[in-house]
Structure 1
């Protein structure tokens, strides 16, 4: 396997790991009661827009939209998912 192929494998592995993080965050947002998630997202140290803090369902939709995007939305969804998991006290990677 040449170095270019190694880079492709590494990129795929990283992409799959990031998709798993996004999927876990979506599961948390949709599987936990609204009051609990809203309280978790109210933490001012989180890097989330105010309207997303108040609407976990919309945040889950936004993350789902970025899950398979081939542009910056994927990385944005990944970083947003990390914020959700951080707020919940769950592993972020």
Structure 2
């Protein structure tokens, strides 16, 4: 019976393995063209609209956006593209803590 249980555990871990690599990530982007108090709102909304994005914090003072997202659903390039399409180029994604 232990042999069957061990085999079952091994099979379950192999099936679940791809999900273990996907997860929540946080990156911080430098954001260009933020010149007024409305800009952070537009950047936040454009990034938040990307499927898989869970949270966006934009700093007008630091000219940056910190984004938490599900890396199984999106990636930093897609988030940066959404900001770029709104007129605010985002670049230099740095992994958060």
* TM-score, normalised with respect to structure 1: 0.33
Give the structure with the higher percent helix. Answer: 1
Give the structure with the higher percent strand. Answer: 2
* TM-score, normalised with respect to structure 2: 0.32
Please tell me whether Structure 1 or Structure 2 has the larger radius of gyration of its CA atoms. Answer: 2
